[in-house]
Structure 1
């Protein structure tokens, strides 16, 4: 089992995150061994993982692009310990993205669905590149995978979207509306089940993992997952969930909004005229995330921990995606040939964050 950084609740101007730490066979640091040979000793260098890379979304309070933040202004605190700068900060840039697009076709009278084929196909115009992979799912009462890790060129996306929207298009032509009926839609919208399943599949893919959900954010048919288990799985499996909706919920504790925030994403809103632009902006947000790096302290123990990320003298919407990496191996730490990193790791505090119970 590895180590996971997963979000919990707001803290100051940044964001407080839970961390799950588990023991792996490999520890941290550098171990150097020397063995005799005929003429001279042979030195063997063993490298162990001890570096965390945390994708961090930084937007204005209105969820818009903001002026680039100088790396020196970032601070992080582990378990409410001392706030320190990360060891290294960079833009995510052209890191490969594994993106899943989940299209909820059971939204009555959605103004986004008539434009979704064109908007998703438009992602090939510079937003996504040959290093990226896209999977597309269509959600009715059942979930259908119509494209699995395809290269996001225009023709491939167009073919996949034709398949994804085929059932919806038939219902439109036969005059039955976006769904068979509004009553059937309300009884058959397993959004939490679909999000949980797609998140699990994304976890098996390389690159920065992102789930884009085009929906109204409402669930009324799930029997396997709750909104709580969805956000928990997203945190554990390093999947940032973004929502694209027409309107938001009036509930300040809207579960879908919480899922997005607690997995390192955000809810965005679009109309039929702005959907194409909104999807382009979403990919730009992902490309402009900051990757915060810091070495893992040898003091970390398995369990839940927290990290607060903030910006000096600044206010922003800051959300961080969960990551996993190993804790220290006691045998490696006890080995006298282990060379510890020269960069000092952040010192954890004593505070632990307890997650709220699921509803």
Structure 2
């Protein structure tokens, strides 16, 4: 199993809003209106602690932006925009990479393309020591390039209607990659959702020669692709999710809800009813996530695609006296393997 840490992943189960935007996971962090910003640190038990990212809040206590890249060659600023009712309307990302790092990345790719048998450890060690690390808090973000974004569209009743996920090719051209649709009954209750991945994994970019002007031009070619979709049927104590690839049914999921409407079990099945994965969530008296346990995972999701699972099958969440998240402990069964620490800065 691969050791991986994906920034923001740990918030997916903690801050998910059942009757708001469940997919994609874009719920913002809430630490109250007395907090200026929060630093998030992470380390495996046998590795040094590193600052991963930071969360910054405006005067109303809303999560205004996240900064990533304190110990990375590229810096990213993710900003959140809200309407007058406080509902999230846009997520905008901007990226920055110093001129030195940009040049190194090109050399790095060229070396990889030339070497058939790559010594990954050696090449990483070679370039990691050469990168320039920039504090994202010092970057002029107005000059940075804009990258993938999310747009939230609402109907005349101010209900979630559509979420659009936009991504970008290396050439800078953007495209619509995913959509989430929301359906309601006459009582204004959310009864179903449909998530569609319209991104094609086999789109490639290449340089096409234009004889008329004797230059190369960036072009995009669609070789093949798959359209993934999820449909959600929501009831008081259960969410049923069906998975489809190119219109073909590939699996289903049951999310079991407790009396407070919180998800206690997430069980994914294949078309024959065999369990593909099972996650169990437990909560404290304040209805905050206390423990997330991966009871079983086959390595496949409901689309029948294989996954690279994170190391560790248990996360335990710890809060301060104000119910603010301050630590997440990771375990592989009962062995402690990692710590995520949150440092809170008051205004």
TM-score for both structures, normalised by structure 1: 0.24
Structure with bigger RCO (C-alpha 8 Å, 6+ apart): 1
By percentage of residues, which structure has more helix? 1
